Structure formats: structure tokens, C-alpha cells
Structure 1
Amino acid sequence: MLNFRLATLSAVCAVAVLSQNSLLAQSVSIPDAPMTVVAGQKIDVPVEFEGAEKDILQVQLFDSSWKKVSEGWVNVDSASGTHTFAIDVPADTAAGKGHMWQALLYDNAWKKKKDVLVTNVVVTAAVKGGLKPDSKMKLESEPKAKPKPKKDPKSIPHRKAQLLGDEWLPVLENGKWEIDWADEFDGEGEPEKWFPLLGYDPEAYKAADAKGIRWTGGTEETAWMYSTRSGNHWQNGKGQLVMQIVTNKKESNEMGPKVEAAYLLSGRPVAWDSNEPNGAKWDGKFVSPTEETPLYICARVKSDELVGYSTWFAFWLFTETRAYNGNPTDGTEVDVVEIVKGKKNYLNHCFNVANHWKKGGGSESKQFNTLSKPAALDLVDVTDSEYHVYGIEWTTEKMTCFVDGKPYYTFTENIPTKPVDMMMLLTLEFQKDAWDPDQGDGRVEGPAVSEDENTRVMSKVLVDYVRVYKKK
């Protein structure tokens, strides 16, 4: 899913100076979306938008399992208008129903402002004389170098992991793994190594008790959810971190009932420092591989109480302080795992991995659900009462995703490398219909962990440990 969940300080400041009128005018739509598409042909997709000058407009075609088929994007010079994308649909695109168009409007720092989804698009088989199967769309920002071929996850043998102690670890050709950092959550109360997102300003961070996440306007009053200093995450004294996301029935904003969540980072801002890329010095744990020292990062998670519609759990990496080219607006997000819930059947066992990067404007995401190949249940049952280990082996050349010792997906392009230094994050999140246009509103409908007159606990997860291994 193409959605950068942490705004940089510069982006937040830019939003703050927008006028109220420009905020209200933001919109994007596909007024005459092509509902039948022929594989191997070029298709015109008109997208209408209202925003600001220098915004970025993007359109994407997904198949029914949310695998991206094709895309295009453009920098727009006017604050409103229509842009018609000429989208090449590869000839090897699988024919069938259930494809989707998505149009997105970003600001010039690639922070998403608006999006729209058109479902029930039909793709028919390639016609004779159409594009060759190996024809691909060339984006303006696509690197000239020939990309490395991706490995078919099915071709990665199971022997590529070995049991060391109490955990499956990837096999190293030379050397061995050693623990670089770990949190076993053996204490009680609030964890010492994880910090709630309360802002990027060191002084505001110290004073804040909550911060709005997933803004839709210029102020925190428009937030879909709030990260809180305490109350929604704690160590239970049994060796686990408890995380929950709740509806506060007594408070609301223009989005509806207020949502408070566990949204934890392994880093925090501690002081102003003009030598740092965004002007603030951070402390905590940051991770980054070198050519000599690859990493394996994993978390052991129990997600059977992750049930609330439009909620999801994520274990992920993000750089706010260090980035490509020393520019924080080029921050990179890597999702080791996202487990998503909604009223649709395909969301019952759904989980996602992704490598989102700004450099070159690209992104790669793979969702596993009941319709995908392999199906989610072929890899892991995220609804059972067992703990499962989600990990990623990170070298300077590739990132391989693991679940319970089984490698199942590998990223080989645009790999974030030194000096990006990423924080780790453990988050429970909410945004109505963020993954599906009829995902449901867990604040007022569907299953919940518990409920009383004041609070509805939409979802809860237990984290047994987070570990970082490095090659010795």
C-alpha cells in the first residue's frame, strides 16, 4: 500500500501555511475510468484533481490481490485540472474481473493528500499484434540501469533458514549471526526501549501526551487516530508487550469517534542540533546494513485479537533523521509485515510486505490474502492463537521476508542502504476504508476485543520479542 505514515518536519510545516480554502479544495477523481482493459494495449485514464501547484498526481492499476500491474505519475503545474495518463497494460497481465484503478494526489514531498479507488475493472486477454509480453511502461523517474531480476518466492528453498537456539535464522554463506540488539519485554509497565510518536520537535515531544496520526488537513483535530504516551501499550509481566487500539466513545472530531493507539518507535528526538538533517538529534536504536555486515530483524507476534474493521498491525522500518542524499524528505519505509482487518472475506487472513522508497518515485508491495498465489494461509494463519515470527534479512543488495523461518518474498530493487539508518516501529493503526472501499468502521461495527460505555477496544496484539541480528 503506497502510504507514508510519518510526515517529515518540513512537510508538516509546509501544510501549516496552506490556507483553509486550499485544504478544503483538495480532491482527486477518475471521472471516466476505463472499466474494461485489454492486456498488451495502452489505455487513457483521465484524472481530475484540485490541490496546489507543484503537487504530484499518480494513477495505478492493481489486480484483485492488490499486486500492482502498471502505474504512471506526473508533477502538475496548476492547482486544478485534468491529466490524462497513457497507461501501458503488460501483455502478460492475467485476464479476469476484480482489477482496480487507484488515483492519488500528493504534495511535492510525496505526502499523500487524497486518493480514490475504482473497483470491478475487467482485464481481457492480450490481442494479436498488441504489445510484446516483455514490454513495460517507462516512467520519467525510472533509472536507466537494467533492473535486477526478481526471484520467484516459490523458487527460494526452505533450507535458506536454520534453527539457532529458539529461532529460525537465514543461513549465511560465511560467518554467523550474533545478537546486536533485542527487547524481550521481560519487565512490567511501559517499555524502556520504545517511545510513542509524539512529534519531531524535542520540546513538544517532552510535553505532549498524544499526537494526531494520518492527518487529512492542516491540524491534529482532523486526525484519524492519535498516538498516546501511555495507556495503550505496556509490558504484562509475563514477557510480552501488549498493544491495543481503542475507540474513545466520549470524544470525537470531524472524522467521528476519537481513536487512541499504540504507535511505538525505537527512536525519539532529544535535542535541537543543526548538524542533523532535520535539525533535531535523536537517540534510541537505528539499524542499517553494510556490505560486510548484513542484518536480520524480526518480531514474534500473536495477532488473534486483531479483529477491528479498518485496523491493522505493522512491524516496520522508517528513517526520519537519516535518508537518501542526506534529505529527510526522501525517507524510506519498509514494512516487514502489516496484518490488515476488514469485513471483506479476503481480509480475514490478509498480510502485506512492502518496500516504499522516494528515490525515483517507485514502490513495491505484495499482499497475501485468500485470493493471492501463494495464498496467505499457505504461509501463516494470522488469526490463530499461536505466536509467529516475522523477519527480514537486509543486505545492501536485497531484502528477503521470512515468516516462521520460511522465506517468501524478496525485494531486489531500490534497497535502502548506508547511510539511511532506520528506526524500528511497532504500530496499531486505524483509518476507515484505508485498504478497501468497504473495509468497515471498527469504531461502531463489527467484532471487538471488549467494549463498555466509555471505550471500545477494537484490536489488540501481543509482541513476545523484537531482535536484531548482525553478521559476525
Structure 2
Amino acid sequence: MKYSVVLFITCLTFLGNLRAQNSVNPLQETATGKRFETLVWSDEFEGNGPVDAKKWFHQTQLPPGGSWFGGIINHYTDRQENTYLKDGLLHLVAKKEVFKDQGEVKNYTSARLNSKFTFTHGRVEIKAKMPKGTGTWPAIWMLNKNIDEDGAYWDNEGFGKVKWPYCGEIDILEHWGKNQDYVSSAVHNGSGYGGAVENLGGRRVAGVSDQFHVYAIEWTKNKMTFSIDGVVHYVYEPSKKDTNTWPYDSDYYLILNIAIEPDIDPEFTESALEVDYIRIYQ
């Protein structure tokens, strides 16, 4: 009888564990990445020195008014002090320094890179480590090739025809130093954008400024799935797809930057967004 009871309890435990394994919260599912398997573009950031000019463009032109949108207080530069390769990593560095450019003096510098590669649908994987410091705002994101934005690479190439947010924006990751270790993903378009954006999700991941993590998006003709280290934290799949909710069936390009907010820690001197690789699969 004793052995029968033990066997019965063991079976119940096994069934309970099996049920728990199969009852996964949809926002905690593992991203398989098997939908897209062909590598179509990448940067492994090998070597030392400047970034690959065949792959990247430094966006430095200030918007009208002399400051970047969102209250950003830094200049973006094309100097190697702000972007360089070393030890197999891209270092995109935000610095506290007085810098004059385009007739404007600012007390912080950083960099904003545009990819010279565009694509429609696929999987993007980025292995990266965030900068640290209250007031830092790093992002790895995408804009439609058709955005009308003076100074952006694809606008300079003659493709800029649609104003933001109607062109569409895809934020693979954003991290605010004032909310350390919380990583957010968002989608901006005509149905919701800017500070009032509702299409977003995120989660807290310990040590994002101390360790590398893999940030990814799977983008199909029906939805976008955002994940960190294979764990999904947000899915964008609007029930109604129109020009406001889904301007996402045309070519997009990557942007990497660190913005500096007005509440920057006065003790901040410099910190870097470090990227091991970026890979795009279709």
C-alpha cells in the first residue's frame, strides 16, 4: 500500500509539472526564430577603428530649431570618439563635453547610425549591452525608408515622402537609465505615437548594462514579435490593418543611437552602447 501511495503521488507530480510546462503565458513564450533562416545582412563589428562606411551612415543634421525631438540635449557626431570598433565590438559612446556644431553649442555628444541596408519582413537579432547613467536613452530601432526627414540617409538618397509617424516606426529596444534594467519595445504609427503611444511592452532584465543580451524582432506580414534572450515580451498584431495601424509592408532601415535627456546625472561623464553583432534573416 505504501508503494502504491508513493506511485500515485509521483504520477500526480509528473502530471502537474507537465501541465505547467504546457500552460505558457503567451507573453512568456520562447521565440523560435525558425520562420526566417537565411542570413541576408549582418555586421559582426570585427577589427579596430571606424565603423564600416559601406554599411553605416552617421546622421548628424539637426532638425529645424536646433535640437533633436523629444527634448534631447546632445549633438550626434561622425567622430571616431563617439563611434568606433574595438575587440570585436561596436562602441557607440555618449560623452559629456562642450561641442559646437551647426551653430549650436551643446554639452553632450553621441552618435546616431543609419544602416545602408533596407528590408521588408524578417528577423533581426542584436547582441548588445546598454550604457549606464540616469538620463541616457539608448535605442535600436527602425524607420521606414520613405520617411521625410532631412539629414537621414534614405531621405538624402531621394526616398523621403511620408512624414513621421505615418511612415511607421519600430522600436526593437529602448532603455532609459532612470529606469535601469527595464527594456521596452514599441510600434509608432498613425494610430498611436510619441509620448501617447499605446502599442508597447517590455520587461525587466537584470544587468542589461553589465552583460550582453540578445534582442530580437520577428516581423511578418501579420504581426511583430519582440523578445529578449528568446523570451517574448510584446506582440503587435492589430485586428484591423490599414494605413494607420500597419504601414509595415515596405522597406525599413536600422538606427542605433544614444540620446541624452535633460535629467542627465550631473556626475555622468561617458558610457557606451556596445554591440557584438547585428544579424538580419529572411
The TM-score normalised by the length of structure 2 is 0.72
C-alpha contact (below 8 Å) 1:396/1:416 kept by paired residues: no
Q: Pick from 75, 84, 88: which aligns with 1:226?
A: 75
Give 1:469 shift. Answer: 0.4
- Map of 2:281 onto structure 1: 469
C-alpha offsets along residues 127-155 of structure 1, whole Å, 9 cap, x if unaligned? xxxxxxxxxxxxxxxxxxxxxxxxxx932
1:417 to 233, 248, 252: 248
Structure with bigger helix share is 2
Aligned length: 232
The 3-state SS of whatever aligns with 2:38 is strand
Please show how residues 273-288 of structure 1 align to structure 2 within 5 Å: 284-288=116-120
Query: In structure 2, do the counterparts of structure 1 residues 227 and 320 end up closer, same or farther at CA, with 3 Å as the change threshold?
Result: farther
Look up the match of 1:356. 188
Specify which of 20, 26, 36 is matched with residue 155 of structure 1: 26
Change (3 A) 1:248 1:327: same
Alpha-carbon displacement from aligned partner over 1:295-354 (angstroms, at most 9, x marks no partner): 001210022xx222211111100125369xx94112211100001112xxxx12222110
- Which residue matches 2:58? 196
Deviations 1:51-105 (A, max 9, x none): xxxxxxxxxxxxxxxxxxxxxxxxxxxxxxxxxxxxxxxxxxxxxxxxxxxxxxx
Distance in 1 separating the partners of 2:189 and 2:201 = 17
1:426 to 256, 270, 279: 256
CA contact (8 A) 1:300 1:388 kept: yes
One-letter amino acid matched to 1:328: V
Q: Which has the higher contact order (CA 8 A, sep 6+)?
A: 2
- Residues 417 and 243 of structure 1, relative CA distance in 2, 3 Å threshold: same
Q: Alpha carbons of 1:404 and 1:159: their partners in 2 closer, same or farther (altered >3 Å)?
A: closer
The 8 Å contact of residues 318 and 424 in structure 1, kept in 2 or not, is answered as yes
Which among 138, 144, 165 is matched to residue 313 of structure 1? 138
**CA distance in structure 2 between the aligned counterparts of 1:224 and 1:246, rounded to whole angstroms:** 12
Q: Which amino acid aligns with 1:296?
A: R
Q: Which amino acid aligns with 1:441?
A: I
Task: Point out where structure 1 has 5 or more consecutive residues left out of the alignment.
Answer: 1-152, 162-169, 199-210, 267-283, 290-294, 369-374, 433-439, 449-455
Q: Where does residue 224 of structure 2 map in the other structure? A: 399
Equivalences for residues 426-465 of structure 1 within 5 A: 426-432=256-262, 440-442=263-265, 444-445=266-267, 448=268, 456-457=269-270, 459-465=271-277
| 1:188 aligned counterpart, secondary structure | coil
* Residues 1:389 and 2:214 are matched in the alignment: yes
C-alpha displacement of 1:242:
0.6
Instruction: Answer yes or no: is the 8 Å Cα contact 2:168–2:248 preserved in 1.
Output: no
Amino acid in the other structure paired with 1:376: R
Alpha-carbon distance change, 258 to 157 in structure 1, aligned in 2, over 3 angstroms: closer
Q: Work out whether residues 30 and 232 of structure 2, in 8 Å CA contact, stay in contact via their aligned partners in 1.
A: no
SS in 1 for 2:198: strand
Task: Letter of the 2:183 partner, please give it.
Answer: F
Instruction: Give the equivalent residue in structure 2 for 1:117.
Output: none
Cα offset, 1:397, TM superposition: 0.6
Residue equivalent to 2:47 = 187
Deviation for aligned residue 1:156:
4.9
Matched, 1:339 2:175: yes
Question: Which amino acid letter does the alignment assign opposite residue 233 of structure 2?
Answer: Y
SS in 2 for 1:328: coil
- Compute the displacement of 1:256 (Å): 8.2
Rounded to whole Å, the distance in 2 between the matches of 1:352 and 1:182 is 23
CA contact (8 A) 1:392 1:399 kept: yes
8 Å Cα contact 1:225/1:258 also seen in 2: yes
Q: Which runs of 5+ in 2 are unaligned?
A: 1-23, 149-159, 239-244
| Native 8 Å contact 1:352 1:365 kept in 2 | no
1:364 CA displacement: 3.2
- Normalised by the length of structure 1, the TM-score is 0.45
Q: Distance in 1 between matches of 2:105 and 2:176?
A: 21
Match of 2:91 in 1: 242
- Identity percentage over the alignment? 24
**Given that residues 225 and 429 in structure 1 are in contact (C-alpha distance below 8 angstroms), is that contact kept between their aligned partners in structure 2?**
yes
* Distance (Å, rounded) in 2 between the aligned partners of 1:312 and 1:376: 16
Residues in 1 aligned to 2:276 and 2:31: alpha-carbon distance in whole angstroms: 24
2:34 paired with 1:171: yes
